[in-house]
Chain A
């Protein structure tokens, strides 16, 4: 068996048994990247020598001792580049570790490489990377999803054991679904955002993309918890996420939101997800139809709030303290204007402009304030639903992976790719995507994801449902056709 095809827990077991060394695991990863990454373009960079040297010093008795974890290019790892797949951070080297990285290191993991993403995490296909798109390992003419498309693709192609991504409107769950892997967005505040380059601060969360549900729980055990460097991190106690994974779904109440099975959803995705829900019912869950009445307003709410916050957060890229700076400018305003013109890609510019507009004098109340009020209604929908059910089950994405270039000229159609994921960010709740089948397109098998949404701080329940489903199906064992 190839080392690189192992899950995190399988690799850990072999490392602890002395059957493989962390160094061998890192080197196997290096060879696998050489072999498949020219087709996938999941990595922007990786420093094999540094990873090998870290592997030789690691304490294998630690919870993640010797396990390399691939890192999305939006999370600071001291001494590694952190470019957010943008030209504007050209040459930037992180001077400190994000809290999640400090926690990974303390657990013995090796932060490995920089994986591709949509520039500043803005996008749903990884085509907005300034360094070229990542390709879906199941069909390299298709997108891997986004914005954490690199994270999902490298885990799917076995050129990463597991990865960290970030999720602002679905950026972990949607690419995980489209690449046939597991992706978890924690409750807002469960994981520290310190050292995550901010996109929309009230929506962003870091989370894992993994080969199976147990791995997601293992990573959550390591990265969760309060942090004095992030005042929005929650002080609530972190449960042991692996402890109750195998309790099954017998007696759990699951809600099927009628607003998520709508026109516009691919009929085969609809069928596949309904079959997955039926399987959960066979396993002992009770399924009820529920209503989340403000679902149709989530997209509009998101595309006001997220750009508004982004326009403020990205004001820091001014060509003074770090990154790219335009040449030969004669005034400070010209310096700002040209630096940001040349440094940002089109989608980032669009969102900064949109965000600036909805916050501008005369429009603030009509757009931003109104969206904040609708945000309250969306949160209330979920709160009411969770009085009746333990978790909500629905599709992660309305379609399977689409073709490269298919939606790049139409931002609104690209935004629709996140229609089932972004409400969870707006409400601050948690959710996981787990593989639930395939549909055939042009002779290729394309993965479909089942999304399980849970109440705030209830990651343990969504993981338990996901694990029960996964362990009674074979989808997560399928490997993409890549050489």
Chain B
């Protein structure tokens, strides 16, 4: 665990966030410090510890597969930045 390999530009690309050169510089420093801080966890021996994703032992919760009311198409589309003919408009994916 170390921040040496942390490349903010590469990770931002994975997260689909473009950054300005100023942001790249600032986040690299700030997050480098945060990563140094969290390296504190290396002090603990966790070899015998089970990981916990969730505070309670709730596993699968099942229900009957029944149709029920959902949003009308119009309501679902109402917040779209661009829509037409009952569809969301996206930026062209294929040339």
Contacts and interface: CB of A to CB of B under 8 A. Distances in A.
A338 B18 CA distance: 6
B21 interface: no
Interface string B63-76: 10000000100011
Interface string B12-53: 111111111001001100110111011111111010011111
A313 interface: no
Contact of A93 (B11, B20, B58, B79): B79
B53 A202 contact: yes
A328 B87 CA distance: 20
Nearest to B68: A228
Contacts of A428: 54-56
B53 to A, nearest CB: 6
A373 B46 contact: yes
Contacts of A356: 11-12, 14-15
B47 to A, nearest CB: 9
A354 B91 contact: no
Contacts of A415: 34
B23 A349 contact: yes
B41 A323 contact: no
Nearest to A355: B15
B63 to A, nearest CB: 7
B95 to A, nearest CB: 9
Contact of B15 (A228, A297, A311, A324): A311
Contacts of B5: 363
A234 B38 CA distance: 31
B91 A374 contact: no
Interface stretch (A178-186, A237-245, A263-271, A329-337): A329-337
Contacts of A445: none
A78 B34 CA distance: 38
B93 A332 contact: yes
B1 A366 contact: yes
B91 A332 contact: yes
A232 B16 contact: no
Contact of B50 (A296, A300, A373): A373
Interface stretch (A106-114, A209-217, A375-383): A375-383
A367 B19 contact: no
A373 B49 contact: yes
Contacts of A330: 91-92
B78 to A, nearest CB: 7
Contact of A234 (B40, B56, B79): B56
Interface string A148-184: 0000000000000000000000000000000000000
Nearest to B3: A357
B61 A231 contact: yes
B11 A319 contact: no
Given A366-B1, A373-B50, A377-B49, A95 B79 contact: yes
Given A303-B37, A350-B30, A427 B55 contact: yes
A375 B52 CA distance: 6
A352 B19 CA distance: 12
A322 interface: yes
The 4 A-B residue pairs with the shortest CB-CB distance, nearest first, are A428-B55, A372-B51, A322-B79, A325-B81
Interface of A: 91-93, 95-96, 188-189, 202, 228, 231-232, 234, 294, 296-297, 299-301, 303-304, 311, 315, 318-325, 329-338, 340-341, 344, 346, 349-350, 352-354, 356-357, 360, 363, 366-367, 369-377, 379, 411-412, 415, 426-429, 456
28 contacts: A91-B79, A96-B71, A188-B55, A189-B55, A232-B56, A234-B56, A294-B44, A297-B41, A299-B37, A300-B38, A301-B41, A311-B15, A319-B81, A323-B81, A325-B82, A333-B16, A340-B15, A344-B17, A346-B23, A349-B17, A353-B12, A353-B31, A357-B35, A367-B1, A367-B38, A374-B44, A379-B52, A412-B34
